[in-house]
Chain A
Amino acid sequence: MSIIMDVMKTAVRLAPGSWLPGGTPDPLMNKHGLIGKPASRIDGPLKVQGKARFAAEVSLPGLVYASLLYSTIARGRIATLETAEAEAAPGVALVMTYRNAPRMAPPPLMMSAPKAAGASGLPIMQDAEIRWNGQPVALVLAQTQEQADHAVSLIRVTYAVAPAVTSFDAAKAKARTPENILGEPSSIEIGDAEKALKDAAFKVDLIYRTPRHNHNAIELHAATVAWNGDQLTVHDATQMVNGTAWTLAQVFGVKEEQVRVLSPYVGGGFGGKGLGDHQILAIAASRLSGRPVRILLSREGVYRVVGGRTTTEQRVALGAKPDGTLAALIHTGVAATPTRNVCPEQFSFPARHLYAANAIKVAQQVTDMDMLANIFMRAPGESVGTYALECAIDELAEAMQLDPIELRRRIEPEKDPTSGTPFSSRHLVEAYRHGAERFGWDRRDPTPRSRREGEWLIGMGCATATYPYYRMPGGAARIRLTADGRAIVQMASHEMGMGTATVQAQHAAERLGLEYEKVSFEYGDTSLPSGTLAGGSSQTASIAAAIIAVSEVLTKELLKLAGNDSPLAGLKPDEVEARDGGLCHVDEPGRFESYVSILKRAHRDELVCEAEAPQPFEMWKYSMHSYGAQFCEVRVNAVTGEIRVSRFLGSFDCGRILNAKTATSQFKGGIIMGLGLALSEETLFDERSGRIMNPSLAEYHVPVHMDVPAIEVIWTDIPDPHSPLGAHGIGEIGITGVGAAVANAVYNATGKRIRELPITLDKLL
């Protein structure tokens, strides 16, 4: 993969600007019509009425229900396995273990092939080996979920326990540097950062620790699956329908076309709804039993088999010159990982692109632990990486007696500090200025403990938010333009509640010059043109690029179809624009013909076009990122150490905002998840057993309503001239910087620097 990237990077540098999709900015970039409107979500009424059918609600004739038994040791072998009682239990259709499970290839690891979706390369129920505490060791199918759950409790397993590496400190001592971190180099050194640090006039050199986190989407992971001969249908809750279909085809030895994955509604993804062991086991059991199968993980099951954010220990060292610029920026550390896992928690990514420094050193290591594979979790890496980096910036600013926003202004880079490429669009300083004004930053006293109301110490903090712009290659879109002047846009993409269908309908309507009500967007089904995954905040730009491509084809086809009897006769595609339900000459709006008229004259019921999005060359030509300034006010109880976030404001710079309402929800959702990261979320991973001890919403503390204050969200709305629609994806940036903004506010309130998350009250007593 990295070789391909190198070739592409070289090609892009040599290519002329017009080659790139952003070479000539998207004309809709600055157009104010439907784009940006706060349209309500199309799927909203369906969900409120319970009419949206989720993966665990699909009913099929003869359906049986699956239940899983999880290992209780981290490493070893199954010594004895007694299933007779379970097999004889009422309603049981199948008990599957490694003894009778069909032979399956391990899922190809993500990034090993364009559509590979495996997060872990470990074999799935193929042998007696136990590789993590919680690994599924048996699956029962029964007529009802209750029967399946009961039968599972009747299976007796004993283990031959082997030594396991479950201590992070022990694993850290043997940490290794991986070949790459998600395709990026594991380490980068520019100049001699350690020496520059040593010689710097002002310096901080600090260690930050962040704990493991688990996914807690309201919709539990689920799939309803059925085989018809070698045809496989999977009703899934997933962020990657095409990746899932291709990868399942490799696992089960069938062709990609023989696998259909449908996922019209997903009740929260956050990176956790990918391809895991549960779908593969359900499909294997379906093949073995000849019955359609539904698997719905329990909440505990999600903790046992779906990974999350992993433990990190990070060093951030900053050395500054008297003028406030950076002589040295160092961000290194270790993330806990199991073997054969592709999610290394890229905490060192923000430091590669955020600030100018004479010397830079970033380096990231991984461990080999016997634990559940990590999976992506909203801004993996960037969430915890910005916590460390942005707390350290705050500490440096204090050491220099500089306002932390002023320090960031002084270290604002002119071009990407590690790659040297120009930024496509960067207005971080502006986001800080707007945010500071709106939040009332000038009322902050930099001296800790200077504001108090009764028992409550009050403090303010800020931090930078950042997340890369990604656009994934390989997506295609189809437009069906019908004789009644409606358009159906189709692409196998995903709606996890963020507003995909709504925003792309707004986009397509504007692009095609149609009324919003006349456009619908169909997605979530591999029988549609192949989409890209909903991950890395990439989906909006990826779909938009495909819609641009297909709308260009559509214009050409319409002009052909219009022929010589049309007012458009003789016009070339770049001489027309879409408007009022048809096409017209750019300079002579009177030369117009409607889609209805063109299709009618040509005796066509519909015109169907399909096109693939161009390769995302813009990502190599430019350093493309989203930014934000997070502002937090906390109240800390001087008696008990209780922390209440009393105000929060996020000021974002993420290109053009496509829907003010869904965007606000995305940003707020990210910030709320960030409050959990800052204050309460922590997976209790017992290092003696490698077992997660709080697999429930009662004991794993996500924020409750009372923990969430009024949150204000503002944005620059400055389009990125090098992205489709001038937009950036915004699903993840909201969570970044929140941990640091809270920690910095807690410091301002109490005078205590908390360098280990979560910031619980005992750390402030």
Chain B
Amino acid sequence: MRPFLYEKAADAAEAVHFFAQRAQAKYLGGGTNLVDLMRENIERPEIVIDVTGLSREIRDVDDGGLVIDAGTKNTTVASHRTVRERYPVLAQAILAGASAQIRNMATVGGNLMQRTRCYYFYDDAARCNKRERGKGCDAIEGFNRIHAILGASSHCVATHPSDMCVALAALDAIVYLEGPQGARHLRLVDLHRLPGDTPDIETELRAGELITAVEIPALPFAIRSTYRKVRDRSSYAFALVSVAAALDVDDKGNVRDVRLALGGVAHKPWRATAAEQALRGAPASEENFRRAAEAELKDAVGLAGNAFKIELAKRVIVNTLQKLAMESGAGS
């Protein structure tokens, strides 16, 4: 680890102010990913701005939604009564991630900003376009079992490792930002980028922008929502494939509305819009679920180590939707 400056910000404005003082600056939440990367000399900030002193509330919004401050611990969100009742998919996704100790430290803002687990990104002896643009990618022909099948490029096949973000993507979450040019907000699905030829640029954040809160809009049918994570051991492993889903089936057994997002498959939490579109208005049947999954994975590309994920993702989508359909009383 290299020497660095440390500042603790009292509020967002002060955090943004500190950030501007050095060319290489990083906001520090729970440190469960940033500090690891600093130890490995992958992240080399000159200044670290601790933002855990900022407000960390969870507030109800008038229309039935919820606002979660960015400094809120993952454990707090997962155990929050409203979250568990209205958005079970979010509570389940958080609990499927990391370990209890890590969740006790990790913050919502930090979770959004965590970086890929690609082995070659973590080892500065390897080539990685994400660490150094234009250097090449050792993952494409190397170990790529945990890598992307959707939206990848010839420059980068890394995945975004978050579970929580997959649920947030399904729930149409909005991310609130504060930066040198003032406040603004983005849809969570627009926050993270696909790698293209600049995999080193991972989000749409502008220099110095700090995530201050995440809003989850009201979604009554999310009461019936779930998160299914498939991985290489029962706990403490990143998703090979995960599915966040909420399903609204009408009296006739047709899909009135659906939210679907995938994890472990792309450089960002993957909102499955093609599948959703294929399902809206269609009978909630296994056949249609399969058709929707096929539509979503139509452009998926497998590498030597991860091609199995294409079929796995389809199966988990179908299986998850079937379970939700059963719960809502629709036969399938």
Are B311 and A149 in contact (CB-based, < 8 A)? no
Are A644 and B233 in contact (CB-based, < 8 A)? no
17 A-B contacts (beta carbon < 8 Å): A150-B1, A153-B2, A153-B41, A639-B316, A640-B230, A640-B316, A679-B233, A680-B233, A684-B143, A686-B142, A691-B123, A693-B123, A694-B119, A694-B143, A701-B233, A707-B235, A760-B232
The residues of B that contact A705 with a CB separation of less than 8 Å are 235
B286, chain A: closest CB distance, angstroms: 12
Report if A162 contacts B (CB, 8 A): no
Report if A7 contacts B (CB, 8 A): no
Are B119 and A640 in contact (CB-based, < 8 A)? no
0 or 1 for each of A689-717: is its CB under 8 Å from B? (1 = yes)? 10101101011010111110000000000
Are B119 and A699 in contact (CB-based, < 8 A)? yes
Are A693 and B311 in contact (CB-based, < 8 A)? no
Are A686 and B235 in contact (CB-based, < 8 A)? no
With A686-B143, A693-B120 known as contacts, the answer to whether A680 contacts B315 (CB < 8 A) is no
The residues of B that contact A146 with a CB separation of less than 8 Å are 1
A630, chain B: closest CB distance, angstroms: 20
Report if A761 contacts B (CB, 8 A): yes
Are A765 and B233 in contact (CB-based, < 8 A)? no
With A693-B123, A701-B237, A704-B236 known as contacts, the answer to whether A765 contacts B311 (CB < 8 A) is yes
A643, chain B: closest CB distance, angstroms: 10
The residues of B that contact A691 with a CB separation of less than 8 Å are 123, 125-126
Interface residue ranges of B225-262 to A (CB < 8 Å): 230, 232-237, 240
Are A642 and B230 in contact (CB-based, < 8 A)? yes
Query: Which chain B residue shows the least CB distance to A705?
Result: B235
Query: Which chain B residue shows the least CB distance to A147?
Result: B3
With an 8 Å Cβ cutoff, the count of chain A residues facing the other chain is 33
The residues of A that contact B240 with a CB separation of less than 8 Å are 761
Q: In the complex, A703→B234 CA distance in Å?
A: 8
Q: Pick the residue among B141, B143, B236 that contacts A693 (CB under 8 A).
A: B143
With A680-B232, A701-B237 known as contacts, the answer to whether A762 contacts B312 (CB < 8 A) is yes
0 or 1 for each of B100-134: is its CB under 8 Å from A? (1 = yes)? 00000000000000000101101101100000000
Query: Which chain A residue shows the least CB distance to B316?
Result: A640
Are B234 and A644 in contact (CB-based, < 8 A)? yes
Report if A482 contacts B (CB, 8 A): no
Query: Which chain B residue shows the least CB distance to A71?
Result: B125
The residues of B that contact A150 with a CB separation of less than 8 Å are 1-3
Q: A639-B315, A701-B233 are in contact. List 4 more A-B contacts (CB 8 A).
A: A153-B2, A694-B143, A701-B237, A760-B232
Report if A421 contacts B (CB, 8 A): no
A472, chain B: closest CB distance, angstroms: 36
B contact residues vs A (CB 8 Å cutoff): 1-3, 41, 117, 119-120, 122-123, 125-126, 138, 141-143, 145, 230, 232-237, 240, 308, 311-312, 315-316, 319
Q: In the complex, A706→B3 CA distance in Å?
A: 39
Chain A to chain B: the 3 pairs with minimum beta-carbon distance, closest first: A706-B234, A72-B125, A762-B308
Of the listed residues B120, B122, B145, B311, the one surrounded by the most CB atoms of chain A closer than 10 A to its CB is: B122
Q: In the complex, A84→B218 CA distance in Å?
A: 61
Query: Which chain B residue shows the least CB distance to A641?
Result: B312
The residues of A that contact B126 with a CB separation of less than 8 Å are 689, 691, 693
The residues of A that contact B125 with a CB separation of less than 8 Å are 72, 689, 691
The residues of B that contact A688 with a CB separation of less than 8 Å are 138, 141-142
Are B232 and A639 in contact (CB-based, < 8 A)? no
Q: In the complex, A665→B308 CA distance in Å?
A: 38
B131, chain A: closest CB distance, angstroms: 14
The residues of A that contact B41 with a CB separation of less than 8 Å are 153
Q: In the complex, A149→B40 CA distance in Å?
A: 10
The residues of B that contact A703 with a CB separation of less than 8 Å are 233
Are B232 and A765 in contact (CB-based, < 8 A)? no
A68, chain B: closest CB distance, angstroms: 14
Q: In the complex, A729→B217 CA distance in Å?
A: 63
The residues of B that contact A149 with a CB separation of less than 8 Å are 1
Q: In the complex, A680→B41 CA distance in Å?
A: 28
The residues of B that contact A765 with a CB separation of less than 8 Å are 308, 311-312, 315
The residues of A that contact B232 with a CB separation of less than 8 Å are 680, 701, 760-761
Q: In the complex, A641→B240 CA distance in Å?
A: 12
Q: In the complex, A762→B309 CA distance in Å?
A: 8
A164, chain B: closest CB distance, angstroms: 14
The residues of A that contact B237 with a CB separation of less than 8 Å are 701
Q: In the complex, A704→B3 CA distance in Å?
A: 35
A216, chain B: closest CB distance, angstroms: 13
Q: In the complex, A205→B125 CA distance in Å?
A: 42
Are A684 and B119 in contact (CB-based, < 8 A)? yes
The residues of A that contact B230 with a CB separation of less than 8 Å are 640, 642, 761
The residues of B that contact A762 with a CB separation of less than 8 Å are 145, 308, 312
Query: Which chain A residue shows the least CB distance to B228?
Result: A640
B58, chain A: closest CB distance, angstroms: 28
A302, chain B: closest CB distance, angstroms: 15
Interface residue ranges of A741-763 to B (CB < 8 Å): 760-762
The residues of A that contact B315 with a CB separation of less than 8 Å are 639-640, 765
Q: In the complex, A146→B38 CA distance in Å?
A: 12
The residues of A that contact B1 with a CB separation of less than 8 Å are 146, 149-150, 153
The residues of A that contact B233 with a CB separation of less than 8 Å are 679-680, 701, 703-704, 706-707
A477, chain B: closest CB distance, angstroms: 43
Of the listed residues B3, B141, B234, B237, the one surrounded by the most CB atoms of chain A closer than 10 A to its CB is: B234
Query: Which chain B residue shows the least CB distance to A676?
Result: B233
Query: Which chain B residue shows the least CB distance to A760?
Result: B232
The residues of B that contact A706 with a CB separation of less than 8 Å are 233-235
The residues of B that contact A761 with a CB separation of less than 8 Å are 230, 232, 240, 312
Q: In the complex, A377→B151 CA distance in Å?
A: 41
Query: Which chain A residue shows the least CB distance to B2?
Result: A150
Of the listed residues A146, A644, A680, A686, the one surrounded by the most CB atoms of chain B closer than 10 A to its CB is: A686
Are B234 and A640 in contact (CB-based, < 8 A)? no
Are B312 and A640 in contact (CB-based, < 8 A)? yes
The residues of A that contact B2 with a CB separation of less than 8 Å are 150, 153
Query: Which chain A residue shows the least CB distance to B143?
Result: A684
Q: In the complex, A641→B315 CA distance in Å?
A: 11
B46, chain A: closest CB distance, angstroms: 14
Q: In the complex, A600→B312 CA distance in Å?
A: 79
A700, chain B: closest CB distance, angstroms: 11
Interface residue ranges of A306-350 to B (CB < 8 Å): none
Query: Which chain A residue shows the least CB distance to B307?
Result: A762
Q: In the complex, A684→B3 CA distance in Å?
A: 31
The residues of B that contact A693 with a CB separation of less than 8 Å are 119-120, 123, 126, 142-143
A750, chain B: closest CB distance, angstroms: 15
Q: In the complex, A679→B234 CA distance in Å?
A: 11
Q: Pick the residue among B123, B142, B234 that contacts A704 (CB under 8 A).
A: B234
Interface residue ranges of A423-459 to B (CB < 8 Å): 455
Q: In the complex, A699→B147 CA distance in Å?
A: 13
Interface residue ranges of A611-668 to B (CB < 8 Å): 639-642, 644
A65, chain B: closest CB distance, angstroms: 14
Query: Which chain B residue shows the least CB distance to A675?
Result: B233
Query: Which chain B residue shows the least CB distance to A72?
Result: B125
The residues of B that contact A704 with a CB separation of less than 8 Å are 233-236
Q: In the complex, A150→B44 CA distance in Å?
A: 12
Q: In the complex, A706→B240 CA distance in Å?
A: 18
Query: Which chain B residue shows the least CB distance to A149?
Result: B1
Q: In the complex, A374→B171 CA distance in Å?
A: 50
Q: In the complex, A688→B41 CA distance in Å?
A: 23
